């Protein structure tokens, strides 16, 4: 069952991505992008990463794609509605994509999966999904851990050093929040109602 | 076990019964059927209520004939009529997107119901991210509307779609900010836990907790009106300006799918408002809840909770209908001003206020009622025994035993 769902969502994600590349109508591309991104979110749910899946849905499907379509609708005229790639662009894309694929394949090949599997077996006994992500009550428990880790405390012990408390991610969290605050203030500054100065008015008219 | 189907009780029970791997699949089907019923039946009822209430508000009778009295089967008759209509797509439309758009709306609206607890422990998928994921899924509903507006190949529809996007960009921020306030008070994103915390007297409900949460409830309600495209925020449809907005070119079943989704998400946000602010499935009378939990217990108590939640949410839906037929529509710039210029700072202030209140006056409600009537947390109802854990023998063993047997055995086995 899990394999079947994984295949289904994996195929949908990959197929959606292929259709994004093959289509030329921007709005249809956005639709296939939604298919691809939502399937990726479902893959996250299958893995027991409920928080990441929800973020994927909220940020990418609900946020980014809506803004993308909004932009297309506002500017939909002439060359931007249909995208035709020239052969040179296709060649560039193939080279970059091929290099990235090669890197991914190399990375996957270099991981010693058997060792990880045995480590997880030793640590949790019989697969990590039973204890870590989803338990038998069907309650994902990743959120509390993520939240605590972002505030600087990690409850999951390091198997190599069980007596040592691992540091959380308080500094990145604070940097990100400051960054977002700066972005908000900047957006408000740019979008504020500009007072017309008499000299600029005279020069423009 | 399969995580997405992890509704422990039903699936494990079925696995025990059938002795096969089909247990989870059957359980998933049951869950889908139940959630589908919760999705479709209230929507049908509220479509009838909308026609009836709007009729009364406009000094008409509304539907009177179908189904004998009060026209209570009117929605069914509407559905029959709509199924028989021809499924048209305009020549200028982007046919694929035009056909797919209603499904996006319905799927998003339906999927959001998976994460709602309808009573204590009655939820299809119980997650710690419950609220977050429900809002995330609901926000994808906008995409269907935008696609419908774009793909119809009509100016009216395009205007409707663009307005919907502009509106969505403005209401999402205060929606998230006000939904965070109960989360900060409860210390959990799990809708079950947020609602369970509001047991006891109605002064324990988060609306009456402090002045900030009370205002936050009204802000939340206003913003959910916008998220449902309900008047005074129904700019995407705007039947007096844009013919029918994004719906202009739709007919038959696809048109009715949009409406089904709209009424279902009205019910959805009402249930969400009840869970977050209005005490979830608790009656608000501490002694009554306590008595039910102690004397009835288990399954019947949950059914009662389900009914209580349904009544509360239904009343909120009626308020939405009432608002729609009494208030004029805002212009799009007024919507954006309302949401971004006023509601966002208000929501920020309310969030700050409720957090400060929680820090400095812990456990104290606004009117001091809980202090006077219940010196401690004594009027809190104990959380009902979870069905999937080993339940101690209670008076209501007959009712509970069916659902406890399989998990008990499972617990001993593992």
Predicted confidence (pLDDT) at residue B224 exceeds the cutoff of 50: yes
CA distance A64 to A61: 6
pLDDT band at residue B61 using 50, 70 and 90 as cut-offs: confident
pTM listed for this prediction: 0.77
Highest mean pLDDT, choosing among A75-79, A104-108, B145-149, B198-202: A104-108
Residue A184 contacts B, CB cutoff 8 Å? no
Cis before B343? omega within 30: no
Structure token pair of residue B350: 């309310």
Q: Which residues of A touch B169 (CB under 8 A)?
A: 66-67, 70
> ipTM more than 0.85?
no
- CB–CB contact B3 A57 (8 Å): no
pLDDT of residue B332: 82
CA distance B162 to A51: 30
Closest CA to A70 of B335, B90, B150: B150
pLDDT of residue B233: 83
β-strand partners of A25: A82
Predicted confidence (pLDDT) at residue A205 exceeds the cutoff of 50: no
Predicted confidence (pLDDT) at residue B4 exceeds the cutoff of 50: no
What pLDDT, in 10s, does the model give residues B17-47? 666 666 667 777 877 788 778 887 888 888 8
β-strand partners of B119: B122
Facing residue for A133 by CB, picked from B3, B132, B143: B3
What phi and psi, each to the nearest 5 degrees, are found at residue A128? -75, -25
CB within 8 Å of chain B, chain A residues 96-135: 129, 133-134
Structure token pair of residue A110: 């270099």
Integer angstrom CA distances of residue B340 from A17, B95, B163, B168: 34, 35, 15, 11
Structure token pair of residue B161: 């779609």
CA distance B306 to B302: 6
Structure token pair of residue A116: 């990880």
What pLDDT, in 10s, does the model give residues A91-134? 898 899 999 999 999 988 888 777 777 776 666 555 444 444 44
Q: Which residues of A touch B140 (CB under 8 A)?
A: 34, 38, 57, 61-62
- Residue B263 vs residue A71, higher pLDDT: B263
pLDDT of residue B412: 35
- CB–CB contact B128 A142 (8 Å): yes
Structure token pair of residue B356: 């400060």
CA distance B240 to B230: 14
Structure token pair of residue A28: 């249809």
Facing residue for B129 by CB, picked from A54, A67, A137: A54
pLDDT band at residue B401 using 50, 70 and 90 as cut-offs: very low
What pLDDT, in 10s, does the model give residues A133-167? 444 444 456 677 777 777 776 666 566 666 666 67
């Amino acid at each position: 069952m899990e394999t079947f769902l994984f295949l289904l969502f994996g195929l949908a994600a990959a197929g959606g991505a292929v259709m994004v590349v093959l289509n030329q109508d921007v709005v249809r591309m956005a639709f296939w992008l939604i298919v691809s991104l939502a399937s990726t979110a479902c893959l996250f749910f299958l893995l027991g990463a409920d928080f990441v899946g929800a973020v994927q849905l909220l940020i990418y499907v609900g946020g980014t794609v809506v803004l993308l379509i909004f932009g297309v609708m506002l500017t939909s005229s002439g060359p931007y509605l249909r995208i035709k790639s020239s052969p040179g662009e296709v060649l560039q894309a193939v080279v970059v994509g091929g290099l990235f694929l090669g890197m991914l394949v190399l990375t996957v090949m270099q991981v010693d999966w058997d060792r990880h599997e045995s480590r997880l077996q030793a640590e949790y006994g019989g697969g990590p999904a039973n204890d870590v992500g989803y338990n038998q009550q069907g309650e994902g428990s990743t959120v509390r851990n993520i939240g605590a880790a972002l505030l600087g405390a990690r409850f999951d012990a390091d198997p190599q050093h069980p007596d040592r408390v691992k540091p959380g991610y308080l500094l990145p969290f604070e940097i990100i929040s400051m960054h977002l605050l700066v972005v908000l203030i900047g957006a408000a500054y740019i979008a504020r109602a500009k007072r017309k100065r008499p000299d600029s008015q005279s020069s423009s008219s | 076990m399969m995580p997405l189907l992890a509704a422990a009780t039903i699936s494990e029970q079925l696995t025990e019964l059938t002795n096969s791997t089909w247990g989870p699949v059957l359980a998933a089907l049951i869950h889908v059927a139940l959630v589908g019923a919760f999705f479709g039946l209230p929507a049908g009822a509220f479509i009838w209520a909308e026609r009836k209430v709007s009729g009364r508000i406009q000094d008409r009778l509304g539907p009177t004939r179908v189904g004998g009295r009060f026209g209570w089967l009117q929605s069914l008759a509407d559905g029959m009529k709509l199924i028989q209509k021809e499924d048209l797509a305009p020549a200028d439309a982007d046919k694929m997107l035009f056909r797919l758009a209603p499904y996006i709306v319905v799927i998003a609206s339906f999927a959001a119901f998976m994460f709602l607890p309808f009573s204590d422990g009655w939820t299809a998928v119980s997650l710690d991210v419950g609220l977050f994921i429900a809002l995330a899924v609901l926000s994808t509903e906008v995409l269907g509307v935008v696609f419908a507006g774009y793909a119809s190949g009509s100016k009216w529809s395009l205007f409707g779609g663009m307005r919907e996007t502009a509106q969505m960009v403005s209401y999402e921020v205060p929606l998230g900010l006000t939904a965070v306030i109960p989360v900060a008070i409860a210390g959990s994103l799990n809708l079950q836990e947020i609602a369970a915390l509001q047991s006891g007297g109605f002064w324990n409900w988060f609306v009456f907790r402090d002045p900030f949460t009370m205002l936050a409830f009204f802000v939340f309600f206003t913003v959910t009106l916008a998220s449902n495209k309900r008047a005074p925020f129904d700019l995407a449809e705007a039947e007096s300006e844009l013919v029918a907005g994004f719906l202009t070119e739709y007919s038959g079943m696809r048109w009715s799918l949009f409406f089904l989704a709209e009424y279902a998400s009205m019910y959805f946000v009402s249930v969400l408002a009840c869970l977050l602010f209005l005490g979830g499935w608790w009656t608000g009378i501490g002694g009554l809840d306590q008595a039910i939990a102690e004397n009835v217990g288990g399954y019947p108590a949950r059914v009662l909770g389900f009914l209580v939640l349904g009544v509360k949410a239904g009343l909120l839906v009626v308020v939405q209908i009432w608002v729609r037929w009494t208030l004029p529509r805002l212009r799009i710039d007024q919507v954006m001003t309302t949401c971004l210029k006023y509601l966002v700072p208000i929501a920020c202030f309310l969030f700050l206020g409720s957090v400060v209140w929680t820090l400095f006056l812990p456990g104290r409600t606004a009117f001091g009622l809980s202090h006077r009537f219940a010196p401690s947390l004594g009027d809190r109802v104990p959380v009902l025994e979870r069905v999937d854990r080993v339940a101690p023998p209670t008076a209501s063993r007959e009712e509970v035993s069916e659902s406890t047997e399989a998990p008990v055995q499972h617990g001993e086995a593992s």
